[in-house]
Chains A and B, each alone.
Chain A
């Protein structure tokens, strides 16, 4: 019998898959991450609220609650060591109706039961001190000082880079089309870029996790894509609120949140709409209108006219409303890491540990004696002092050439992203690593320049090959001047 190609194949390079990959990279195991898109962080992980929840929201005793609280505790030091932006700004669940105030206390108690620290129900005067911009109808709030915001793109990329530097392989543009297990207990993964064998499969396939699970188990998993739409407001609106503001859920449903982001923008959303189409990452007029309307419930005068873009993200919701993590009965070596909807991002450091622990126990993996420490290449010139910037230019003159004018992203940062362990190859990949294209001009100015840098830095690629987000999203069309399109798309 041949040894399988890999010990572990992780399907999905979102935060769950990459956190798991990083944890597994500390063990003696040969690991491959298979990802259908062209890069890490292309599914739910790139389209969410970027909140690190304190952990009072999830049902006590659930996996969500436990992993949220643990993840929230691990996140600051993880981000510090990886060089990822994280800010512990605290959150407020704002109550706008006196008869709902007891609900805040219930939430606080649930948080306490879940192990969250520092929770406090505050009255209106104290709320106004904390957050002057709350709505006139705000009568109290649950204050959670341990809540924070993180840069989800940086986090996902850094987790993956760390894993890669410590021996994990990654394959992109690769779809799993079939799974079977042979008599020796070896999994055969049919993959569009070449079949792979392994001992253990980690199903971190996001909204598609049910499809993968149902290939190996008659005990069906049902994932419903739950779409949420958001507005991103200019940094000029970035300090409209100081903390993450939630509206207390009412009989009419959950409200939307209003939060600063680590990059200084204001994020407003999401609504929640169950859809059928797993590719349904489009925004809709109705959804955006709903978010706009709900935005004013907890916060006064949200400056929606300062919108610079909007987006939608799909959460992998399953009816039991809890994470599905564990080896699947009847499918030995197949480990679900599924239904990772909110608080998935917050929980991801803990999810990674839990899943890696399950895999470790299945394969009896020993720890590696030596780990390569990893800190990612992210730099923010927007937040750097003049002296810090000058020092960077000393190390590399390309820090002195500003490419993305809106976010002050330099050529050096873009080149570093291209030459990083997993190497940005598209406009969106550069965007995730550097903040370029995320400003008020929405890549109008920097697109040609970034295309030029990508073409220059990547072997065998010219500007007409550059894509926005991988195959099928070529930015320009190859033509001969007779107008016939070539096959450069």
Chain B
């Protein structure tokens, strides 16, 4: 039996969530205030994931030099720097809209990178 206490990062409340594991499998989760916290805690101890937010250069915009982008969903935490690497050298051309797919299935994660700032 193993107990791990973590801070949930799903929302700014940052609940302290305690996960009980037995032989590597999650037995119980407590301390979360919502289902997302439960899901987060389970994932975090077995298969932690993160959303990656960064920027890429944009050409042809009157107002922006860079647009902000994000992974449309969580990617494995171990692949965060691979995502950053896949975005190196990528540029977009204006106009771009929030939600435009910049790079599909980034670093083989099955998750797309989307634009989060219009330009």
**Residues of A near any B CB (own CB < 8 A):** 480-482
How many residue pairs between the two chains, A and B, have CB atoms under 8 Å in the bound complex? 5
CB distance from A484 to the nearest CB of B (A): 12
A252 to B84: give the CA distance in the assembly, Å.
62
Q: Quick check: is B88 within 8 A (CB to CB) of the other chain?
A: yes
A299 to B88: give the CA distance in the assembly, Å.
59
A480 to B89: give the CA distance in the assembly, Å.
9
A146 to B52: give the CA distance in the assembly, Å.
65
CB distance from B81 to the nearest CB of A (A): 10
Q: Is the interface of B mostly helix, strand, loop or mixed?
A: loop
A482 to B88: give the CA distance in the assembly, Å.
8
CB distance from A304 to the nearest CB of B (A): 36
Closest 5 CB pairs of A and B: A481-B88, A482-B88, A481-B84, A481-B89, A480-B88
What A residues does B89 contact at CB under 8 A? 481
B68-86 to A contact mask, C-beta < 8 Å, 1/0: 0000000000000000100
What A residues does B88 contact at CB under 8 A? 480-482
CB distance from B89 to the nearest CB of A (A): 8
CB distance from A463 to the nearest CB of B (A): 9
What B residues does A482 contact at CB under 8 A? 88
Instruction: For A463, give the chain B residue with the smallest CB separation.
Output: B65
What B residues does A481 contact at CB under 8 A? 84, 88-89
What B residues does A480 contact at CB under 8 A? 88
A249 to B82: give the CA distance in the assembly, Å.
66
CB distance from A310 to the nearest CB of B (A): 34
B83-103 to A contact mask, C-beta < 8 Å, 1/0: 010001100000000000000
Instruction: For B88, give the chain A residue with the smallest CB separation.
Output: A481
5 interchain pairs, CB-CB under 8 A = A480-B88, A481-B84, A481-B88, A481-B89, A482-B88
CB distance from B106 to the nearest CB of A (A): 15
CB distance from B69 to the nearest CB of A (A): 14
A480 to B88: give the CA distance in the assembly, Å.
9
Instruction: For A481, give the chain B residue with the smallest CB separation.
Output: B88
A482 to B86: give the CA distance in the assembly, Å.
11
Instruction: For B89, give the chain A residue with the smallest CB separation.
Output: A481
A481 to B83: give the CA distance in the assembly, Å.
12
Instruction: For A480, give the chain B residue with the smallest CB separation.
Output: B88
Instruction: For A452, give the chain B residue with the smallest CB separation.
Output: B65
CB distance from B64 to the nearest CB of A (A): 13
Instruction: For B87, give the chain A residue with the smallest CB separation.
Output: A481
A481 to B89: give the CA distance in the assembly, Å.
8
CB distance from B98 to the nearest CB of A (A): 23
Instruction: For A482, give the chain B residue with the smallest CB separation.
Output: B88
CB distance from B54 to the nearest CB of A (A): 10
A481 to B66: give the CA distance in the assembly, Å.
14
A165 to B85: give the CA distance in the assembly, Å.
53
CB distance from A478 to the nearest CB of B (A): 15
A480 to B84: give the CA distance in the assembly, Å.
12
B40-74 to A contact mask, C-beta < 8 Å, 1/0: 00000000000000000000000000000000000
A464 to B112: give the CA distance in the assembly, Å.
31
CB distance from A127 to the nearest CB of B (A): 57
A18 to B88: give the CA distance in the assembly, Å.
49
A482 to B87: give the CA distance in the assembly, Å.
11
What A residues does B84 contact at CB under 8 A? 481
A482 to B89: give the CA distance in the assembly, Å.
10
A67 to B88: give the CA distance in the assembly, Å.
63
CB distance from A157 to the nearest CB of B (A): 32
A48 to B109: give the CA distance in the assembly, Å.
60
Instruction: For B84, give the chain A residue with the smallest CB separation.
Output: A481
